[in-house]
Amino acid sequence: MIPKDTVDLILNTARIEDIVGDFVTLKRRGANYVACCPFHQEKTPSFYVSPSKGIYKCFGCGKSGSAVGFLMEHEHSSYVEALRYIAKRYNIEVVEEEESPEELASRQRSESLLLVSEFAQKFFAEQLNAGEGKDVGLAYYHSRRLEDETIAKFGLGWAPSGKDDLLQAARKAGYKDEYLIDAGLVVKREDGSLADKFRERVMFPIQSVSGRTIAFSGRTLKADNPAKYVNSPDTEIYRKSNILFGIYYAKQDISRKNECIIVEGNIDYVMLQQLGIHNVVAPCGTALTVPQVRLIRKFTENILLMNDGDSAGIHASLKDIDLILYEGLNVRVVLLPDGEDPDSFSRGRSLEEVQKYIEDNAKDFLDFKSDILLGEAAGNPLKKANFVNDIADTIARIPDAVKRSVYVNAAAEKFDVAPEVIFTRVKRTRDKLLEDERRESSGASSYTGSQSDAEEVAIAVPTDKYVPEVKIMAAVEEDILSFLLQYGNEELHFATDSPYYDPETVDTVADFISATIESTRQPLANEGYRRVYDAYLELYYEGKGQDEIIRTLLDSPDRVLAEIAGDFSTRKYQLSVKRLVSSLTNEQSWLVSYVPKAMLTLAERRIQWRLDTIRRTMNSVPADEQLAMMKEMTNLQKRQKALKEALKKED
The CATH number that applies at residue 25 is 3.90.580.10
Same domain (yes/no): 276, 408: yes
Cα separation, 349 vs 345, in Å, equals 7
77 and 107: one domain? Answer: no
Residues 502 and 553 in one domain: yes
Whole-angstrom distance, CA of residue 527 vs CA of residue 112: 41
Q: What is the pLDDT of residue 507?
A: 86
Mean pLDDT of 262-287: 93
Cα 518 off chain centre by: 36
List the one residue out of 204, 290, 282 whose CA is nearest residue 246. Answer: 282
Is 223 found in the same domain as 124? yes
Residues 214 and 149 in one domain: yes
- Judge whether residue 583 has pLDDT over 80: no
Of 81-90, 435-444, 449-458, 493-502, least confident by mean pLDDT is 449-458
Residues 115 and 84 in one domain: no
244 within some domain:
no
Question: Which residues does 130 contact at the CB level (< 8 Å), separation at least 6?
Answer: none
Residue 454: the pLDDT is: 33
In this structure, the answer to whether residues 435 and 514 fall within a common structural domain is no
For the CA atoms of 456, 461, 463, 468, what is the dihedral angle to 10 degrees? -160
In a domain, 237, yes or no: no
Residues 337 and 479 in one domain: no
Residue 451 has pLDDT above 70, yes or no: no
Residue 343 · residue 265 · CB < 8 Å: yes
Predicted confidence at residue 420, as pLDDT, reads 92
CATH of the domain at 349: 3.40.1360.10
Residues 264-272, mean pLDDT to the nearest whole number: 94
- Closest to 464 (Cα-Cα) out of 568, 563, 566: 563
For residue 580, tell me if it sits in a domain: yes
Task: Pick the last residue of a domain from 89, 121, 136.
Answer: 89
- Give exposure, 151-185, as e/b (b: 16+ Cβ within 10 Å): beebbbbbbbeeebbbbebbeeeebeeebbbbbbb
Q: How confident is the model at residue 579 (pLDDT cuts 50, 70, 90)?
A: very low
Residue 250 located in a structural domain: no
Among the three residues 56, 89, 122, which one is the final residue of a domain in this structure? 89
CA distances from 172 to 122, 165, 410 (A): 14, 11, 65
Q: Based on the domain organization, do 227 and 283 belong to the same domain?
A: no
CA 120 to chain centre: 31
pLDDT tens digits, 278-318: 999 999 878 899 989 988 987 888 999 998 878 888 888 99
Among the ranges given (192-206, 221-235, 239-253, 563-577), the one the predictor scored with the smallest mean pLDDT: 563-577
Is residue 394 a part of any domain in this protein?
yes
For residues 461-472, b (16+ Cβ closer than 10 Å) or e, as one string?
Answer: eeeeebebeeee
Please, are residues 368 and 410 in contact by the beta-carbon 8 Å criterion? no
Query: Are 24 and 109 part of one and the same domain?
Result: no
* Domains contained in the chain, number: 4
Q: Give one DSSP letter per residue of 351-401, joined into a string.
A: HHHHHHHHHHH-EEHHHHHHHHHHHHHTT-HHHHHHHHHHHHHHHTT---H
On whether residue 464 sits in a domain, the answer given is no
> How buried is 150 (Cβ within 10 angstroms: 0-12 exposed, 13-18 middle, 19+ buried)?
middle
CB 262 within 8 A of CB 303: yes
Looking at the structure, tell me whether residues 166 and 283 fall in a common domain: no
Same domain, 32 and 117: no
Average of per-residue pLDDT values in the chain:
85
- Residue 143 inside a domain? The answer is yes
Residue 147: give its domain's CATH number: 3.90.980.10
**Mode of pairing for the β-strands spanning 260-262 and 280-283:** parallel
pLDDT at residue 437 in the model = 73
- Domain extent, residue 61, equals 4-89
How sure is the predictor about 99, in pLDDT bands with cuts at 50, 70 and 90?
low
Q: How confident is the model at residue 440 (pLDDT cuts 50, 70, 90)?
A: low
Q: Give the mean pLDDT of 601-628.
A: 87
Question: What's the CA gap between 419 and 402, in Å, rounded?
Answer: 14
User: Any residues with CB less than 8 A from the CB of 588 and at least 6 apart, and which?
Assistant: 495
pLDDT at res. 98? 63
Residue 448 lies in a domain: no
Return the minimum-mean-pLDDT range out of 141-145, 219-223, 308-312, 463-467.
Answer: 463-467
End-of-domain residue from the set 89, 118, 143: 89
